């Protein structure tokens, strides 16, 4: 009992000393600031992307009707704002008022007609092929009436916004295909071309549906609500907190290396030093882990304590084991410091913080954030985190016994 009390007293004093360090106070303060900032931005009445749209001709009724429908559509992903002409659209993109600028052809009906008149093979080539034809990569007739897009950077956001616009235009394109098909089959009834077009419009309006055909679920069966699916800015918060905890572990290692270099722990017996050093790394992770757990609970990304608590505890052990093993392998403080930005970039882009990419999966699994983010909705079982924590901690303790300091 006396030994346990002695260990707890040492842990308390070491933790008190750590919390006096500016770097850990900054990291601790970043968690509530991150939570408040993300929640405030994600709950604002706006959209992730703003797209400026304009007709190619001021008297094109089809383009004006489509633009009016785009403006009325409220989406957490893309918001459309109308402008008079292409010059105003380009100015909006240049000034940053809009993320993407879209200018329709002078006669939008001609574009739809050219689209409907494509060969069947082209129409069956898939959504991306049809999208390319609309924006000028198809037949010569399509290129004459192509939609022009202005963007400051040709990144994934611009490409996805074009896909979203394609979905908004799909009904009109579908109607154009029906009109062309009816005109090309005069044997079906004794109707004029105008009557056939009116029939296609009638069929389109009668069969139009506005409800979603999809229900989103995680692999563990939990349903993703519309509100959760629409909070694009808040969705990476869990991943950012995990990266912040990994940064805390690395900062604790650098702080520990400085203490070892200055001989502050010479009173610890050599056989106990590896375990003592691991405990020194765990202390600040525990402090920030509590803050991260509370932030998740208040952010709206919380699932249930039965999932969150074991996952957070195991992730703290994984981060500590990873950071300590890195210290043992690299040994030199300057090498560890040089690896910090590389590891943070790897955690941000090789683990599902913003997007879930399967790239070099064995390398991804070496990062502590990967298994944690994958475990919340049962993509990876919790026991894999336990194995990761045990292996990294054991290697750090075994290899650390052969080092002096």
User: Is 314 a residue whose pLDDT tops 90?
Assistant: yes
> What percent of the chain has pLDDT above 70?
75
pLDDT for 131 = 47
Pairing of strands 100-103, 78-82: unpaired
Pairing of strands 100-103, 148-151: antiparallel
pLDDT digits (tens, 9 = 90+) for 98-133: 888 888 888 877 777 777 666 543 444 444 444 455
pLDDT digits (tens, 9 = 90+) for 364-394: 889 999 999 888 876 778 899 999 999 999 9
User: Is 23 a residue whose pLDDT tops 70?
Assistant: yes
Q: Look-up: residue for tokens 């056989």?
A: 271
What's the CA gap between 79 and 71, in Å, rounded? Answer: 7
**48 Cβ partners below 8 Å, 6+ apart?**
76, 77, 78, 232, 233
> What percent of the chain has pLDDT above 90?
15
| Bigger pLDDT: 390 vs 48 | 390
User: Given pLDDT bands bounded at 50, 70 and 90, which one contains residue 326?
Assistant: very high
Structure tokens, 217: 């679920």
pLDDT digits (tens, 9 = 90+) for 154-203: 777 777 777 777 777 777 777 777 777 777 767 666 777 677 777 777 77
**272 φ, ψ (degrees, to nearest 5):** -90, -10
Specify the range with the lowest mean pLDDT, choosing from 196-200, 231-235, 307-311: 231-235
* Other Cβ atoms within 10 Å of 129 Cβ, number: 14
| Averaged confidence pLDDT in the chain | 77
User: Given pLDDT bands bounded at 50, 70 and 90, which one contains residue 214?
Assistant: low
User: Given pLDDT bands bounded at 50, 70 and 90, which one contains residue 148?
Assistant: confident
Closest CA to 77 of 7, 165, 189: 165
Mean pLDDT, range 226-252, rounded to an integer: 77
Closest CA to 148 of 156, 139, 137: 137
What's the CA gap between 398 and 322, in Å, rounded? Answer: 14
Closest CA to 368 of 349, 356, 355, 351: 351
Q: What are the strands of the beta sheet with 78-82, ordered from one edge?
A: 78-82, 49-54, 100-103, 148-151
User: Is 323 a residue whose pLDDT tops 90?
Assistant: yes
**223 Cβ partners below 8 Å, 6+ apart?**
215, 216, 217
Structure tokens, 168: 């908004």
Are 100 and 51 spatial neighbours (Cβ–Cβ below 8 Å)? yes
User: Is 334 a residue whose pLDDT tops 80?
Assistant: yes
What's the CA gap between 14 and 195, in Å, rounded? Answer: 85
SS3 annotation, the chain: CHHHHHHHHHHHHHHHHHHCCHHHHHHHHHHHHHHHHHHHHHCCCCCCEEEEEECCCCCCHHHHHHHHHHHHCCCCCEEEEECCCHHHHHHHHHHCCCCEEEECCCCHHHHHHHHHCCCHHHHCCCHHHHHHHHHHHCCHHHHHCCCEEEECCCCHHHHHHHHHHHHHHHHHHHHHHHHHHHHCCCCCCCCCHHHHHHHHHHHHHHCCCCCCCCCCECCCCCECCHHHHHCCCCCCHHHHHHHHHHHHHHHHHHHHHHHHHCCCCCCCCHHHHHHHHHHHHHHHHHHHHHHHHHHHHHHCCCCCHHHHHHHHHHHHHHHHHHHHHHHHHHCCHHHHHHHHHHHHHHHHHHCCCCCCCCCCHHHHCCCHHHHHHHHCCCCCCHHHHHHHHHHHHHHHHHHHCCCCC
pLDDT for 64 = 85
pLDDT for 41 = 60
Specify the range with the lowest mean pLDDT, choosing from 99-108, 141-150, 269-278: 141-150
Closest CA to 217 of 201, 228, 206, 204: 228
| Bigger pLDDT: 24 vs 122 | 24
What's the CA gap between 255 and 23, in Å, rounded? Answer: 10
User: Is 363 a residue whose pLDDT tops 80?
Assistant: yes
């Amino acid at each position: 009992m006396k030994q346990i009390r002695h260990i707890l007293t040492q842990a308390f004093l070491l933790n008190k000393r750590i919390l006096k360090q500016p770097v850990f106070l900054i990291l601790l303060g970043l968690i509530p600031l991150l939570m408040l900032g993300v929640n405030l931005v994600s709950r604002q009445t706006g959209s992730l992307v703003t797209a400026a749209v304009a007709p190619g001709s001021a008297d094109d009724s089809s383009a004006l009707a489509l633009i009016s429908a785009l403006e009325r559509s409220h989406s957490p992903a893309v918001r459309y704002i109308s402008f008079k002409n292409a010059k105003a659209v380009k100015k909006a993109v240049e000034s940053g008022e809009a993320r993407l600028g879209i200018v329709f052809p002078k006669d939008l009906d001609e574009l739809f007609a050219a689209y409907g008149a494509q060969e069947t093979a082209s129409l069956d080539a898939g959504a991306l092929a049809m999208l390319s034809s609309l924006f000028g990569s198809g037949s010569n007739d399509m290129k004459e009436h192509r939609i022009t897009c202005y963007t400051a950077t040709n990144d994934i956001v611009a490409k996805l916004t074009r896909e979203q616009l394609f979905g908004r235009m799909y009904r009109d394109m579908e109607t154009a295909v029906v009109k062309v098909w009816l005109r090309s089959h005069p044997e079906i009834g004794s109707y004029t071309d105008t009557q056939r077009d009116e029939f296609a419009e009638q069929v389109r309006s009668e069969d139009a549906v506005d409800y979603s055909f999809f229900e989103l679920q995680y692999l563990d069966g939990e349903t993703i609500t519309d509100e959760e699916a629409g909070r694009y800015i808040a969705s990476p918060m869990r991943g950012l907190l995990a990266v912040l905890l990994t940064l805390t572990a690395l900062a604790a290692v650098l702080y520990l290396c400085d203490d070892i270099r200055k001989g502050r722990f010479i009173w610890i017996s050599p056989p106990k030093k590896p375990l003592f050093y691991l405990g020194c790394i765990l202390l600040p992770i525990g402090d920030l882990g509590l803050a991260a757990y509370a932030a998740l609970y208040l952010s709206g990304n919380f699932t249930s304590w039965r999932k969150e608590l074991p996952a957070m505890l195991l992730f703290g052990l994984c981060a500590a084991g990873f950071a300590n093993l890195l210290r043992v392998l690299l040994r030199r403080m300057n090498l560890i410091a040089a690896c910090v930005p590389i590891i943070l970039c790897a955690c941000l882009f090789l683990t599902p913080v913003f997007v879930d990419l399967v790239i070099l999966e064995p390398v991804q699994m070496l990062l502590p954030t990967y298994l944690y983010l994958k475990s919340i909705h049962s993509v990876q079982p919790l026991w894999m985190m336990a194995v990761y924590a045990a292996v990294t901690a054991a290697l750090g303790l075994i290899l650390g016994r052969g080092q002096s300091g």
